[in-house]
Structure 1
Amino acid sequence: MNAKSTTAILSKLRALMKNTKYVCEPLQAYIVPTGDAHQSEYVADSDKRRDYISGFTGSAGTAIVTDSKAALWTDGRYFLQAEKQLDTNWILMKDGIPDTPTQAEWLTKTLPIGGRVGIDPFMLSVEKWKPLHKSLKANGYILVPVDQNLVDVIWNDQPEPPNNPLIILPVEYTGLSWQEKVKKVQNKLLEKNCHAFVLTALDEIAWLFNLRGSDIIYNPVFFSYTVITRDKVHLFIDDTKLQNGVSEHLKLNDSALQNGTSIEKHEYNTIKDFLTNLQTTTDKKIWISEKSSFALHSAIPKTKRNHDPSPVALFKAIKNKTEIEGMKNAQIKDAVALCEFFCWLEKQVPSGDITEITAANRLEQFRREQADFVSLSFDTISSSGSNGAIIHYKPTEESDKVITTDQIYLCDSGAQYKNGTTDTTRTVHLGVPTKYQQECFTRVLKGHISLATAVFPNGVKGHMLDTLARSSLWNAGLDYLHGTGHGVGHFLNVHEGPCGISHRVSLTDVALQECMILSDEPGFYQDGEFGIRIESLILVQKADTKYNFRKKGFLTFETITPVPIQTKMIDPSLLTEQEINWLNDFHSFCQQVVGDEMEKQGRKEARKWLINATKPIG
């Protein structure tokens, strides 16, 4: 994980900031966010502009370059990684740490009064643009939209944007046709008295049309925009994606379609001009979420915008019966692969030949043997010893360590199957853990169980439950610097909004609702020594309570990831009777559902491993 030399790159960027061929007036700072024009969490290689100028490859962060300084903000998942990857040109800003200035605060202290701060308006959402613009303006600075992305100008070997073929998902996988989904959106348009709804999030578009792609690695999405009016659907997409039955699936050539479900196709890059013209054809408002780019927002007059959150985000987060069944089946298949992997790992590690990379590759091979496997859902975090303390670590040739019997091994991995997405973390010791390691692991497990068994009323948001996962760690003066849970898509993005479980309060989070699926993943990380995380997916379901205060209705979770938790790492004396019972019941569930699937697949050796790994404790 060597630092990239960025001196020449920064010099070129600073020259462009003064070049009136690209900017109307000289800029004193230029912002390079992580995302793309759709505000995606993970981006295609052609959109990794922040990686290019800084050398930092984490999935979250913002780079700001001034005439003489360069700073990068990222969160606690990436502090150690950023320290290794940034060269001496860069200042690391540890987001979330009390003494760390915000981007606006740093800019106002660094720039001369009246300084102009540039950014590509497609790369920043309105919800992030507004507070930054307001803060800068209040202190005498100007946030300037720059039409030509300056990083693209200097990036000589920038990859071409991907344009991969699509996968059609039949109703047997999705539970609803795309026409039924469009009608749900149009009903919302009527409720809001809006003329049109603008859809920019790639996973929402993929879900809406029952299509999946591969334009962003591990995320089954494709580059497109959609505008839905009361009587038509406008799809902005490249023609090359409309092959292999996609045109027929969308009924693009069917002139007999009734109003409301007919699709008019447009070129992908014409979306802004379309919105500019659309707002002149109606006196009603156009619905565009503030998670969309400032560039598209600015194409619609302020008086004609409806800023409510996207209804598709919530439709997608609340899984239907078919999606839930698919997600559960995907977890079982994935559990078979993981059990095969840990069985193999226990046998192979003592030889001294297994490294983080060879282990990750072998795990992918096990997953590929399962039905409906499409791809991984993210880069496998295969981390041994001190590398496990790097929360979002990815092994490279430079960092690759041998997995040994005297260090903790953390594996956070997932897969995309046609019927669901998985995300599982298990932490194991293939030798003898220390008492301290056992205590830390057990406190993480206590938090995992506390959240998994929580009962809470309707209307509760995830941040209200976050303390449950941290309480046992806090009691010992320990903690972790990442969220506790995120939504998970149905054969879609492994990180999905609009729900989550975190210590940070987000105004855009929605209340947890029945049939949502999230992760439960507390952890602990001893810098330079080891990392611990236990992650399973949990399904929100109705709770059967003795009472029903003010008829609110209560909810709880069902754990749907049937992968054993290593009992060797547990100090049973720290567990309550209820926690021991939960663990034993969970392992009985694992043994039954995964064992049955192993029987069907003839995986006898892994089944023996499973039986041994799920023996009761206490």
Structure 2
Amino acid sequence: MAMRQTFNETTDPSFGARHLPLVRTRMREQGLDGLLVPHEDEHQNEYLPDANDRLAWLTGFTGSAGAAVVLADRAAVFADGRYTVQVRAQVDADQFEIRSLEGDGVAEWLATAPSGAVIGYDARLHSPQALTTLKAAAAKAGAQLKPVTPNPLDQAWGEARPAQPAAPVVPHEDRYSGESHASKRARIGKALSDVGAEVAVLTAPSSIAWLFNVRGGDVIRSPLPLGQAILNADGTARLFLDPAKVTNSLPGWLGDDVALDAPEALDAALDGLTGRKVLIDPAQSSAWYFDRLAAAGADVVRATDPCALPRATKNATEIEGARQAHIRDGAALARFLHWVDTVAQHTLPSEREVVEALEGFREATGCLMDLSFDTIAGAGPNGALPHYKPVGDKIRRMETGSLLLVDGGGQYLDGTTDVTRTMAVGEPSADQRRMFTLVLKGHIAMATVRFPVGTTGHQIDALARLPMWMAGLDYDHGTGHGVGSYLGVHEGPQRIAKLVNTQPLLTGMILSNEPGYYREGQWGIRIETLQVVTEPRAIEGGERPMHAFEQLTFAPLDRRLINVDLLTPDERAYVDAYHAETLAKVGPQLDGEVLEWLTAQCAPL
């Protein structure tokens, strides 16, 4: 099994000098003074096929979140804090001003556009919500945003642009999904009727994959097919896929109640919704759909994608699949952590070699379909960048006396994994052990919390931060994100973070638990496992049933980094119980030196 790579894994700051003039020429031909270039594509994907990675083609920046604005005499590229190092390594600062995506980001920069400027945008690439903010910023400057067809960047890319992906779309069997697609379609159709809608337009690849129990390979690191669907309240549907993706088994799998159409039929299908109540999600679907439906005279119902919440609340089959995927993945992790603790301690490999080692152990399972995201390996100071990716001349080697942070995951037919471990290189300092243990205390608090029905992620986020807050410390990312079932490694609507989120945590939701600490210029620490929300149960002597978290990830913690004196008796008991469970579940997959190593790692503190 060969895993796909993004088309620009190396640094190439010449992109801007080569491509900006081409885009500006096409802008002038359309009478434009500027152009918005989001990272998102027509499906609002986080990870993109090469043909849709417009931001990377223009700027060289390959992060999963960003944007650019091109004006006649200047340009800017925007990235969030995860990509501070990467964006400066990949983008020519002489061609692009490098700005933060966070806060007002693009809108703030747009507010400085020349008065009277006409700035183009491709309506297929922007959500209505995002456009509202950007239009207000442009108006503040006396500029105007204008939808344009064709996209000047696509014209400039021309024949050099890769072909649209056409990976086969295959059935995802009920033994993995736990529910037939006919049942799902009936269930979601009823949900449409309950909110007064007759039809739903679905454009999110993860919703299409989930609803029809299919998987594809159009999107890097996620088994997703690119397409669209129109679902009727009676459960019948039209699925729009490139015929090149349609495998021989697909029509029979979908059955008579699902009509397969080519993408070219979508425009007419939307035009045919005149007078009907059409549900569509303004956070998931681009402005183009809303414009088209409005022109057709449809009665648009703006509401959350009806597949989002059912997809996030895993059924018993999906949860058991996640358990098995994590045990399999845990064996690969044990082999990797043994390698780090033995061979790598002496050879001090580069971050890239560390990444290749972990990916090799996962591939050796024989079950890996893809990574769930590009593996993060940060040695020393690079570990202090929460989502650092080893690129170009920023790659470091492991250093004795420092730390190594590795964050990676796999896509398996029965589940998606995501785990971070921090390891000492040589003998750790007392300071490193203290900071690791503070992070561990927060991690344990989130792993062991009990919470009542209706609790949201932001209401419990502080539990993971409390040990650090008491020491005057914090971390600048969320504590937990949702994870799909052989789908995207980042899945909403659930999350655990400081930001207010109104979605309660429900039985069956899978989330990460990943507090961290990052000391700029020195090293970083993060401990991440995945866990699933359990059914609410009574507590002896309590009055209300409480949810809890069941641990899914099993990989040993670096014992050398734990200061046992900082743990309470209950925290120490948790670590011992977690390690005992790790050995019991992962140990049978191992033998020889690795099993001996894991046994020692999992001994009581």
TM-score normalised according to structure 2 size: 0.92
115 and 584 in structure 1: CA distance in 2 versus 1, 3 angstrom threshold:
same
Mapping 1:50-129, distance limit 5 Å: 50-88=55-93, 89-96=95-102, 101-108=104-111, 110-129=112-131
Q: Which amino acid aligns with 2:202?
A: L
**307, 321, 324: which one pairs with 1:326?**
321
Give distance in 1, aligned partners of 2:34 and 2:301.
32
Corresponding residue number in structure 1 for 2:144: 142
For residue 136 of structure 1, report the CA deviation from its aligned partner. Answer: 3.8
Corresponding residue number in structure 1 for 2:49: 44
Question: Is residue 9 of structure 1 aligned with residue 27 of structure 2?
Answer: no
SS of match in other structure, 1:411: strand
Mapping 1:479-518, distance limit 5 Å: 479-505=474-500, 510-518=503-511
Give distance in 1, aligned partners of 2:258 and 2:530.
36
For residue 469 of structure 1, report the CA deviation from its aligned partner. Answer: 1.9
For residue 559 of structure 1, report the CA deviation from its aligned partner. Answer: 1.6
After superposition, what is the alpha-carbon deviation per residue over 1:144-198, rounded to whole angstroms, capped at 9, x for unaligned? Answer: 2122122212225221111011332221111111111111111112212222111
353 and 101 in structure 1: CA distance in 2 versus 1, 3 angstrom threshold:
closer
Give distance in 2, aligned partners of 1:489 and 1:612.
33
SS of match in other structure, 2:374: coil
Give distance in 1, aligned partners of 2:435 and 2:214.
43
237 and 548 in structure 1: CA distance in 2 versus 1, 3 angstrom threshold:
farther
Tell whether the 8 Å contact from 2:238 to 2:260 is kept in structure 1 after alignment: yes
Corresponding residue number in structure 1 for 2:575: 583
Question: Is residue 424 of structure 1 aligned with residue 419 of structure 2?
Answer: yes
Tell whether the 8 Å contact from 1:525 to 1:532 is kept in structure 2 after alignment: yes
Q: Which amino acid aligns with 1:615?
A: A
SS of match in other structure, 1:343: helix
**How many residues are matched?**
588
**330, 333, 341: which one pairs with 1:338?**
333
For residue 543 of structure 1, report the CA deviation from its aligned partner. Answer: 4.5
For residue 12 of structure 1, report the CA deviation from its aligned partner. Answer: 2.5
Mapping 1:431-446, distance limit 5 Å: 431-446=426-441
After superposition, what is the alpha-carbon deviation per residue over 1:416-465, rounded to whole angstroms, capped at 9, x for unaligned? Answer: 11110100110101311122222221121122112222222222221222
Q: Which amino acid aligns with 1:10?
A: L
Tell whether the 8 Å contact from 2:34 to 2:70 is kept in structure 1 after alignment: yes
Structure 1: runs of 5 or more not aligned: 21-25, 252-256
Tell whether the 8 Å contact from 1:352 to 1:402 is kept in structure 2 after alignment: no
Give distance in 2, aligned partners of 1:547 and 1:584.
26
Question: Is residue 239 of structure 1 aligned with residue 243 of structure 2?
Answer: yes
For residue 344 of structure 1, report the CA deviation from its aligned partner. Answer: 2.2
Tell whether the 8 Å contact from 1:349 to 1:404 is kept in structure 2 after alignment: no
Give distance in 2, aligned partners of 1:309 and 1:166.
26
Corresponding residue number in structure 1 for 2:229: 226
For residue 56 of structure 1, report the CA deviation from its aligned partner. Answer: 1.7
Corresponding residue number in structure 2 for 1:254: none
For residue 406 of structure 1, report the CA deviation from its aligned partner. Answer: 3.1
Give distance in 2, aligned partners of 1:397 and 1:74.
18
SS of match in other structure, 2:293: coil
SS of match in other structure, 1:465: helix
Give distance in 1, aligned partners of 2:572 and 2:143.
58
Give distance in 2, aligned partners of 1:397 and 1:142.
39
Q: Comparing 364-373 with 238-247, which one deviates more in the overlay?
A: 364-373
Tell whether the 8 Å contact from 1:133 to 1:143 is kept in structure 2 after alignment: yes
**Cα RMSD, aligned residues only:** 2.1
479 and 82 in structure 1: CA distance in 2 versus 1, 3 angstrom threshold:
farther
Give distance in 2, aligned partners of 1:101 and 1:131.
9
Give distance in 2, aligned partners of 1:153 and 1:409.
44
Q: Which amino acid aligns with 1:160?
A: A
SS of match in other structure, 1:342: helix
Tell whether the 8 Å contact from 2:461 to 2:498 is kept in structure 1 after alignment: yes
SS of match in other structure, 2:307: helix
Corresponding residue number in structure 1 for 2:28: 18
For residue 293 of structure 1, report the CA deviation from its aligned partner. Answer: 0.6
**264, 269, 278: which one pairs with 2:272?**
278
Give distance in 2, aligned partners of 1:266 and 1:12.
35
After superposition, what is the alpha-carbon deviation per residue over 1:258-295, rounded to whole angstroms, capped at 9, x for unaligned? Answer: xxxx11121124323321x2222xx3310111120100
After superposition, what is the alpha-carbon deviation per residue over 1:444-503, rounded to whole angstroms, capped at 9, x for unaligned? Answer: 112211222222222222122222222222333332222221111101111111111122
**125, 130, 133: which one pairs with 1:131?**
133
Tell whether the 8 Å contact from 1:193 to 1:284 is kept in structure 2 after alignment: no
Question: Is residue 526 of structure 1 aligned with residue 529 of structure 2?
Answer: no
Identity %: 36
Corresponding residue number in structure 1 for 2:375: 380
Give distance in 2, aligned partners of 1:153 and 1:474.
52
Tell whether the 8 Å contact from 1:349 to 1:405 is kept in structure 2 after alignment: no
Give distance in 2, aligned partners of 1:102 and 1:333.
41
Give distance in 1, aligned partners of 2:20 and 2:358.
39
Q: Comparing 377-386 with 131-140, which one deviates more in the overlay?
A: 131-140
Corresponding residue number in structure 1 for 2:457: 462
Give distance in 1, aligned partners of 2:542 and 2:139.
50
Corresponding residue number in structure 2 for 1:604: 592
Q: Comparing 228-237 with 383-392, which one deviates more in the overlay?
A: 383-392
TM-score normalised according to structure 1 size: 0.90
